[in-house]
């Protein structure tokens, strides 16, 4: 059993807001590391890789002795122009050091994740996720939405810790941290969890959640059959003037038990593909997608077999300019397969 557990690779990136109010958490979490790691070895062993970063700063006497920017630009060779997080000093106060949503995007996109590893981020902060602050405004919500989408696109689980806050909107701030975690299959922690159980237990939970998560593998290659596009003139809402409808069938091969140690559970997979014409920023107002299994099979006697579509979503992909669909699929049984997936994507635009 130990050998199988050690086959589970976990890449965990711990990233902290480096505004002055987070010093105590930085030191306390670092001091708790050894106890947490020893507990993890017994309770949920894995091939664990932990990386520690500060946002645009570092903390002495802690594990947070390097910045995320330096690591991504120097070790991962990412051009600074591609990073979403902002440089220290480019916005007022400690704002760049509190760009939580943006660093989640950068880590998800550019960190050197190991192939096949469970990907996880543990973000610690005590202010709003877009440049800090004690209120949740529309800019914070938009930035958080982008962070969630990027983490989901890159199959990254995000855990969050919301520290001490005297803000009148403390609950709204805490809710946004929780929304990031819940939307990416992570767990949200607060100062109360540390008071009750200590940072060692919090860190242990973060790591153990990763090791017990059913991994997802990419579904590829994907071929689209009979793709169709319909363009309809509309009048609103929000100044929309065109509705594009895309339909077709994605053809691929996905199935079988990925790891023997997973036993009789669903194998999870992410299906991605792009459709239609290119749009520019601001043209796509809303995207809705639906999809369903179009062809399944079983290569032998069914043994508690099952096939599932757990989620379907679509969004504008900035890099390609096209609409990208993402579906989370599941197969149970060693010789169960999914071959085809039918889809419809509705895109409301202002063009």
pLDDT in tens, 290-315: 999 999 998 777 777 889 998 898 98
Mean pLDDT across 274-284: 94
Cα–Cα–Cα angle for 171, 176, 182, rounded to 5 degrees: 120
Mean pLDDT across 35-61: 91
Q: Say what the pLDDT of residue 247 is.
A: 98
Q: Could you identify the residue written with the tokens 């987070």?
A: 22
- pLDDT tens, 171-222? 999 999 999 998 888 999 999 999 989 999 999 999 988 877 665 667 889 9
Answer whether residue 126 shows pLDDT above 50. yes
Alpha helices in the chain (DSSP H): 2-6, 23-31, 33-43, 68-70, 100-110, 138-153, 170-183, 191-197, 199-211
**Strands of the 188-190 sheet, one edge to the other:** 47-54, 9-16, 118-125, 156-162, 188-190
- Average of per-residue pLDDT values in the chain: 89
Mean pLDDT across 271-285: 94
Question: Is residue 264 very low, low, confident or very high in pLDDT (cuts 50, 70, 90)?
Answer: low
What's the rounded Cα separation, in Å, for the pair 165 and 173?
A: 9
Which 8-state DSSP code applies to residue 73? I
Question: Is residue 335 very low, low, confident or very high in pLDDT (cuts 50, 70, 90)?
Answer: confident
Q: Say what the pLDDT of residue 46 is.
A: 87
Catalogue the E-assigned strands of the chain. Answer: 9-16, 47-54, 118-125, 156-162, 188-190, 216-219, 223-233, 242-255, 267-275, 284-298, 306-316, 323-332, 336-349
Answer whether residue 336 shows pLDDT above 80. yes
Answer whether residue 42 shows pLDDT above 60. yes
Answer whether residue 3 shows pLDDT above 80. no
Question: Is residue 259 very low, low, confident or very high in pLDDT (cuts 50, 70, 90)?
Answer: very low
Answer whether residue 258 shows pLDDT above 80. no
What's the rounded Cα separation, in Å, for the pair 326 and 277?
A: 17
Above pLDDT 70, what percent of the chain? Answer: 93
Contacts 24+ apart (CB under 8 A), 303-308: 303/264, 303/333, 303/334, 304/264, 304/332, 304/333, 305/332, 305/333, 305/336, 306/266, 306/330, 306/331, 306/332, 306/333, 306/336, 307/331, 307/332, 307/336, 307/338, 308/266
Q: Say what the pLDDT of residue 319 is.
A: 80
């Amino acid at each position: 059993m130990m050998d199988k557990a050690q086959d589970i690779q976990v890449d965990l990136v711990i990233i902290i807001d480096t505004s002055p109010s987070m010093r105590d958490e930085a030191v306390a979490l670092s001091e708790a590391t050894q106890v947490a790691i020893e507990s993890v070895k017994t309770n949920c062993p894995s091939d664990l890789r932990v990386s520690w970063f500060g946002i645009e700063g570092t903390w002495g006497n802690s594990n947070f002795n390097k910045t995320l920017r330096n690591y991504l630009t120097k070790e991962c060779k990412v051009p600074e122009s591609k990073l979403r997080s902002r440089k220290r000093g480019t916005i007022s106060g400690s704002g760049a050091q509190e760009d939580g949503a943006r660093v989640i995007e950068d880590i998800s996109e550019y960190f050197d994740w190991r192939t096949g590893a469970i990907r996880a981020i543990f973000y610690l902060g005590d202010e709003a996720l877009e440049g800090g602050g004690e209120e949740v405004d529309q800019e914070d919500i938009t930035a958080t939405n982008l962070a969630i989408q990027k983490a989901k696109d890159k199959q990254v689980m995000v855990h969050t810790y919301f520290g001490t806050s005297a803000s009148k909107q403390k609950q709204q701030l805490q809710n946004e941290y929780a929304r990031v975690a819940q939307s990416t299959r992570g767990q949200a922690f607060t100062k109360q969890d540390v008071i009750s159980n200590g940072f060692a237990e919090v860190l242990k939970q973060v790591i153990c959640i990763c090791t017990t998560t059913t991994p997802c593998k990419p579904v590829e290659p994907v071929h689209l059959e009979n793709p169709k596009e319909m363009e309809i003139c509309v009048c609103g809402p929000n100044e929309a003037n065109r509705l594009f409808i895309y339909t077709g069938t994605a053809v691929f091969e996905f199935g079988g038990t990925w790891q023997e140690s997973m036993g009789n559970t669903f194998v999870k997979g992410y299906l991605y593909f792009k459709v239609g014409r290119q749009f520019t920023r601001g043209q796509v107002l809303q995207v809705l997608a639906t999809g369903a299994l179009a062809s399944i099979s079983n290569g032998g006697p069914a043994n508690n077999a099952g096939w599932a579509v757990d989620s379907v979503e679509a969004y504008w992909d900035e890099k390609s300019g096209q609409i990208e669909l993402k579906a989370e699929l599941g197969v149970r049984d060693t010789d169960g397969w999914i071959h085809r997936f039918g889809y419809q994507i509705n895109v409301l635009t202002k063009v």
